[in-house]
Each structure stands twice: as C-alpha cells, then as structure tokens.
A and B are shown apart, each in its own frame.
Chain A
Amino acid sequence: MSNSRERRIVRYEFGERLVHSFTALSYVYLLLTGLAFWTPAMYWIAIVLGGGYLSRLLHPWAGLFFVGLLGWMYVMWRADMRITPEDRTWRKAIGHYIRNEDAQVPPVWRFNDGQKVLFWAMTAASLGLLLSGLVLWYVTLVPWNLRWVRYGAVLIHAISALVTIAGFIIHVYMGVFVVPGGLHAIIHGDVSEEWAKAHHLLWYRNLRKQP
C-alpha cells in the first residue's frame, strides 16, 4: 500500500468490516420482513422474500443474529464511541456540518458526534427490539393476567423499529451519498491521508504520532 500513489490508511480492519456488513445485511432483512408485517401496503415484501410464513419464521432468528453482531460491534467500538468534550463543540457546529461548511466544523477523533449518537441510539433501540421481540416470539408464554406485557411489546417493538429506521436512513444517506469515500472505507477498509485529515483530523494526528 505504501508504494501506491499516496499512502493509504486503514480505517476499518477486516474484522470490523465483516461485522459491519453482516449487521447491515441482517438489519435490512429484519427491516424488510418487519415492514411487511407493519403495514399491508408492504406485505408484498414478505411474499418476495419467500412468503409470510417463512418471513415470520426467520425474522426472530435473524434478530438474534443481528443482536449478537451488535454486541460484538459494541465490544469493538465502544471505546471509540465514547462521547468526548470535542464532541460537544462539534455538536454546536452541527449546522455547518449539515450545510457542508466543513471548514467551520471542529476536528474529531475516529468518529464524529453524529456517528456516535447513531451508534448509541441503534444499540439502545435494538435492546428494546430484542426484549419486545422475545415477547412477540413467545407470546404464548405470557400468562393472560400479564397481558399488558403483550400490549407493551407490540408498541415497544414498533417504536424501537421506527427509531432504528430514522437512524438507518440518515446513516445510509450520509455514508453513501454525502461523504465521498465513506462507502469505500466501510467495504474496503482504506482511506487516503487527505480524507483522514479532512474528516477525522484528531484521529489522523494520533495515528501519525504512533510508529
């Protein structure tokens, strides 16, 4: 890599990319099958994916797979995702970030505050999805006099799913459409020095300090 036109920096190790892609794939499957049961207008998705019965059968298992990977991601990234004082200054300048006035956006470490908030929101909502999803899955085990648990579960599952969908839309839009090189980085792992300087200056400087 060092022989190429310019020096490449590894932003995501192979393991990180692998976990991210399987989390993403399982999430998309959960989202599509979930949406099919959410509204009749989208039930056709379940039919395309092998029928309602199969989708219902696999959705909870995909959910366990997804949450397992998310746990792994948590172990990998929680240190980098910790909110720091720099993030609070960044947050104040978020208007500039949104308007692409990046010269006026304070420098950040490996992840910016937006990415961090997304990570924590997804983690929290997924915990809600897991707990409520287990109730939906094993609804026959919820005794009738505890039926409020069933009622809570359908609401929490739908609301948590909506929270993740909001995050998912922003996340995919930013990574694919707004930040050039973002998609390349999460798939192939590498970024240019210029990219690292432009988007994650503190992280870049720290990397350079290390041998």
Chain B
Amino acid sequence: MANTLELLRVSASSPPAPGVRKTAVVTKLVDTSTCIGCKACEVACQEWNDLPPETTVQSGTYQTLPDLAPGFWNLIKFNEHEDEHGRLHWLMRKDQCMHCAEPGCLTACPAPGAIVQYTNGIVDFQQDQCIGCGYCMTGCPFNVPKLNPQTKRVYKCTLCVDRTSVGLQPACVKACPTGCLQFGTKDTMLEMANRRVERLKADGFAQAAVYDPPGVGGTGVVTVLAYGDRPELYGLPRNPTIPLAVKLWKGPLKWLGNAAMFAGLLAAAVHFVRFGRKADVTWK
C-alpha cells in the first residue's frame, strides 16, 4: 500500500506528489551472464506474491510462458544465439517491470493514483484505483503491464514493495542460487555491475555492458549483458523511451486540445454578445 510520505509521482494528478521522505533509490541487478535458467526466481515470485499457478505453455524451449501474464510477473526468457564461431549461447533474461525512472505507464495512466512511483524508485500499480483502460500498456516501452480479464485491472512486478520497504530483499533475489540477482542502492548495484562488465571483457566479451537505458531516465532493474552492443539478442529494446505518440498525446495535444475547447466556448460567448440571436420570426 502506498506510503504517502514516499510518493514521488502519482498518475493523473496535477498537484505535486506528497512525498517528502528522501530514500535511497533501490535497484535490482540482473547479471545475465551468470543466470543458469533455473527459474527459482519465477517460483519465488509466485509464492511470495501468492499468485495462482499459471498453466505453462510449451514452445519448444525451457521458457515457462510466451510472455508475462497478469498473474506471472517474472519470466525468464530463453534466447538462443549462435556466435560468429558457430557456438551456441543461451542468453537468459529476466523479463519483468524495469521500474523506469521516467515511467511511460504512469505518464499514460488517466486514473488518479492508479500508478505511483515512490522516492526509492519503485513503480507500483494500485489496482483499486485502476479503471482497466490499458493506456499503461500503450505507454510502457517494455511491454510489461498485463490486463486481468476477470478483474479488468492491470498487474505487474512490484519489486516486492512489501518486502523492500521493510528492509528485505525481493523474493526473487533471495531465491537466486547463483547470485546473479542482487539488490541494493542504485549506486552499489551499478558499481557491482561495472565490476562484472570488466570481468566479462577480460573473459573475451569485449562488448559487455550495463543496460540502464537513459531514454527512460535509467531503470530500477539494471542488467549486465555480455553482448552489450546488441540488447535485441536478449529481447531488450536498444534505446527505449516513452513512445513519441504518448508524449505528444499527454503533452502538446492535451494542452492544444484544452485551449481549443476553451477557445470554442469563448468564441460562442463573444458571438452571442456581439451578434446575439437571429431575427425572431414567429416560430411558436
């Protein structure tokens, strides 16, 4: 539940967000190069969030489901990549909400308070305020929010806000057996990530990089990629931003539209004062 002292952004609300409590920005680090695809994180997520079991879908790989689902917020994507020497690489990636610093979902949402961002960076959906319009699904550059057809509300990873706000790690991080998932402040996570990148470079992955896309102001989930120059191999967009159409829609179009509607009413009033009614031929 929303701790109002820590609200940094609130969807569809013009007044300043009420948050005054400064907290460190938290981040989850995903090191794809040490992920073994065991899916302990998937199970931990389902268990901690008490989500109903999802029927798996067999698509010829180890992947549990083709995509995130309203009741499945953490999905390991199994991408197969053959390098220039014909060697197969399994590029596992943890698909989940990235907790963007500039969240497109929140920008698009029309329902006051249905999406909030805390001062620690977590972007959280408040399903009781959600009206199920799906605008967040259009605003998100990572294809994350999913609509539950029964409740007609949208669900996604909370970065275990109920655990992290009392000083615990997210459930997935706690479950990860290889240490490929880490949790801490953004600064320490970036430091760790950069150390891993150095190691990967020393190991021959010259293009290794940290994925913390600046187009959305950086993310609360940073990912170490061995093929850092080709995030598409992992199913990650190269330079994600809030879609231009969404920025136009919620920015200039809204202000122009409001101004035009106001001008229309004003013009009618001015016409009435200046010219008034037409000659009143008997009509009764």
Q: Judging by beta carbons under 8 Å apart, are A184 and B275 in contact?
A: no
Q: Judging by beta carbons under 8 Å apart, are B279 and A192 in contact?
A: no
Q: Judging by beta carbons under 8 Å apart, are A140 and B134 in contact?
A: yes
Partner of B281 from the list A46, A98, A180 (CB cut-off 8 Å) is A180
B contact residues around A55 at 8 Å (CB): 131
Q: Does A41 contact B (CB under 8 A)?
A: yes
Q: Does B177 contact A (CB under 8 A)?
A: no
| Residue count of chain B within 8 Å CB distance of chain A | 47
Q: Judging by beta carbons under 8 Å apart, are B260 and A162 in contact?
A: yes
Q: Judging by beta carbons under 8 Å apart, are A57 and B152 in contact?
A: yes
Q: Does B112 contact A (CB under 8 A)?
A: yes
Q: Judging by beta carbons under 8 Å apart, are A177 and B280 in contact?
A: no
B interface majority secondary structure: loop
Q: Judging by beta carbons under 8 Å apart, are B281 and A198 in contact?
A: yes
Q: Judging by beta carbons under 8 Å apart, are B258 and A39 in contact?
A: yes
Q: Judging by beta carbons under 8 Å apart, are B137 and A181 in contact?
A: no
Q: Judging by beta carbons under 8 Å apart, are B134 and A177 in contact?
A: no
Residue of chain A at shortest CB distance from B149: A140
Q: Does A120 contact B (CB under 8 A)?
A: no
Q: Judging by beta carbons under 8 Å apart, are B111 and A52 in contact?
A: yes
Q: How far is the CB of A203 from chain B (nearest CB, A)?
A: 15
CA distance A42 to B112 in the complex (A): 11
Q: Does A86 contact B (CB under 8 A)?
A: no
Q: Which of A98-138 contact B (CB under 8 A)?
A: 98-100, 102, 136
A contact residues around B268 at 8 Å (CB): 169-170, 173, 177
Query: Interface code A42-73, partner B: CB below 8 Å = 1, 0 otherwise?
Result: 01001000001101110000000000000000
CA distance A67 to B234 in the complex (A): 44
Query: Interface code A186-201, partner B: CB below 8 Å = 1, 0 otherwise?
Result: 0000011011011100
B135, B253, B281: residue with the most chain A Cβ atoms closer than 10 Å: B281
Q: Does B202 contact A (CB under 8 A)?
A: no
Q: Judging by beta carbons under 8 Å apart, are A162 and B272 in contact?
A: no
CA distance A140 to B111 in the complex (A): 19
B contact residues around A178 at 8 Å (CB): 271-272, 275-278
A contact residues around B253 at 8 Å (CB): 155, 158-159
Q: Does A211 contact B (CB under 8 A)?
A: no
Stretch from B18-26, B39-47, B191-199, B243-251 at the A interface: B243-251
Q: How far is the CB of B67 from chain A (nearest CB, A)?
A: 8
CA distance A41 to B137 in the complex (A): 22
Residue numbers of A with Cβ under 8 A of B are 6, 36-41, 43, 46, 52-53, 55-57, 98-100, 102, 136, 139-140, 144, 147, 150-155, 158-159, 162, 165-166, 169-170, 173, 177-181, 184-185, 191-192, 194-195, 197-199
Can you give 21 contacting A-B residue pairs, CB < 8 Å? A37-B110, A38-B110, A39-B254, A40-B14, A41-B14, A52-B110, A56-B133, A57-B152, A100-B276, A100-B277, A100-B279, A102-B278, A140-B137, A147-B243, A151-B245, A154-B135, A155-B245, A178-B272, A194-B281, A195-B282, A195-B283
Apart from A53-B132, A154-B245, A155-B249, what are 14 other A-B pairs with CB-CB below 8 Å?
Answer: A40-B14, A43-B111, A55-B131, A139-B137, A140-B134, A154-B138, A158-B257, A166-B264, A178-B276, A179-B277, A180-B281, A180-B283, A184-B283, A184-B284
